[in-house]
Amino acid sequence: MELVTIAKPYANAIFEIAQQDKSHDDWKAILEAAASLVADDQMQAYLESPSASKQDKTTTIQNLVASIAERALNTKENEFLSLVLENDRAAALSSILDLFENQANAFDDAKAFTVISAYKLTAAEEKSIVKDLSAKYDATVSIETTIDKSLVGGLIIKLGDKVIDLSIKARTNELGLRLTTH
């Protein structure tokens, strides 16, 4: 099985935990330490050695990661390392780190939305839109507004290829389609 396929559920789970307790930097440090450790030839030989128990290997990795990170590991971090080692997934740690970093970078980046309105928005309306989008995407948000009088009312909000169409024009078109198909 490809390492990225193995790594994805681990990276997703860690990212969710990091989101909940705002610990992205801590997790990144742990993943970097663990990935660099298991990439070492001597460590690989130790992990493949049948003379050491899985528990000994896990304890050794946990202690070394804590030493590299220069802090004690919390329960979730210890459990994560234990799970990875128990399932013989140490080789996937660098892929887990890469996937985690990709998710964190995509999430942390400021998001620039385009807001198309039927009329010029007031400062209060713009502020409200920014606040709502910031809460929804848990990111720093900026908006660029344009006017399209053909919308009649409402808004269209765009972020890349994502479109949220809250315009009256879209709703009347949808209603028209429903009436003609029934």
Taking only the tens of pLDDT, the chain with its 182 residues reads: 588 899 999 999 999 898 888 888 899 999 999 999 999 999 999 999 999 999 999 999 999 999 999 999 999 999 999 999 999 999 999 999 999 998 887 766 668 899 999 899 999 999 999 999 888 887 788 899 999 988 888 899 998 778 888 888 888 888 888 888 76
Domain that holds residue 62: 3-107
Domain count within the chain? 2
If asked whether residues 36 and 86 sit together in one domain, one would say: yes
151 Cβ contact list (under 8 Å, min separation 6): 116, 117, 118, 167, 168, 169
pLDDT at residue number 136: 86
If asked whether residues 52 and 140 sit together in one domain, one would say: no
If asked whether residues 100 and 139 sit together in one domain, one would say: no
If asked whether residues 15 and 87 sit together in one domain, one would say: yes
If asked whether residues 78 and 95 sit together in one domain, one would say: yes
Whole-prediction pTM: 0.60
Structural tokens at position 35: 């990935």
In total, the chain counts a number of residues equal to: 182
